[in-house]
């Protein structure tokens, strides 16, 4: 069975972001290589967790998850709203036009919705 889940981060909150990263790591460990498609999608104030100074605090774990095939996405609308330059987004993080549309599309494609 291939697992599919989107982990939604919409707040600039260190505890919730670390919880989300931990949820993903624990999920990967629990399925032990049986296959999965996992995405951490950040929108609203949560985009700050994947850019600039905030991302540096968790960069090693993010890189580890990227290497394991986890995808990271940030909402371009939110980047603009919070004046975050796209160049400040961590390497490997995909910028998508609208986070809400991304969430809707993923759920329509059968992704489970996880809110740490």
| Structural domain spans, the chain | 3-114
d(CA 105, CA 88): 26
The mean pLDDT value for 74-93 works out to 97
Model pLDDT, residue 9: 98
Between CA 25 and CA 48 the distance in angstroms is: 21
Using one digit for the tens of pLDDT, what is the confidence trace for 60-72?
Answer: 999 999 999 999 9
CA 13 to each of CA 17, 18, 28, 30: distance values in angstroms, whole numbers, following the listed order? 6, 9, 23, 26
71 contacts 106 by C-beta, under 8 angstroms: no
- Residue 60 has what pLDDT? 95
Hey, which CATH number is domain 3-114, 3.40.50.300, 3.40.1260.10, 3.90.420.10, 1.20.120.160? 3.40.1260.10
According to the model, what pLDDT value does residue 1 have? 61
Reported as a single tens digit per residue, the pLDDT across 37-55 is 999 999 999 999 999 988 9
* Mean pLDDT score, 8-25: 97
Model pLDDT, residue 32: 85
Does the pLDDT at position 81 exceed 90?
A: yes
Q: pTM higher than 0.85 for the full model?
A: yes
Q: Of 68, 78, 86, 87, which Cα lies nearest the Cα of 42?
A: 78
pLDDT of residue 68: 94
Contact indicator for 20, 9 with CB cutoff of 8 Å: yes
User: Which has the closest alpha carbon to 54: 83, 91, 17, 22?
Assistant: 17
């Amino acid at each position: 069975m291939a697992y599919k889940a989107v982990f939604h981060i919409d707040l600039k909150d260190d505890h919730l972001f670390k919880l989300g990263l931990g949820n993903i790591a624990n999920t990967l460990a629990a399925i032990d290589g049986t296959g999965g498609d996992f995405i951490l999608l950040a929108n609203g104030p949560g985009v700050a967790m994947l850019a600039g100074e905030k991302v540096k605090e968790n960069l090693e774990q993010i890189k580890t998850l990227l290497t394991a095939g986890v995808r990271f996405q940030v909402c371009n609308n939110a980047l603009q709203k919070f004046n975050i330059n796209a160049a400040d987004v961590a390497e490997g993080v995909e910028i998508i036009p609208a986070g809400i549309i991304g969430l809707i599309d993923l759920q329509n494609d059968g992704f489970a919705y996880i809110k740490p």
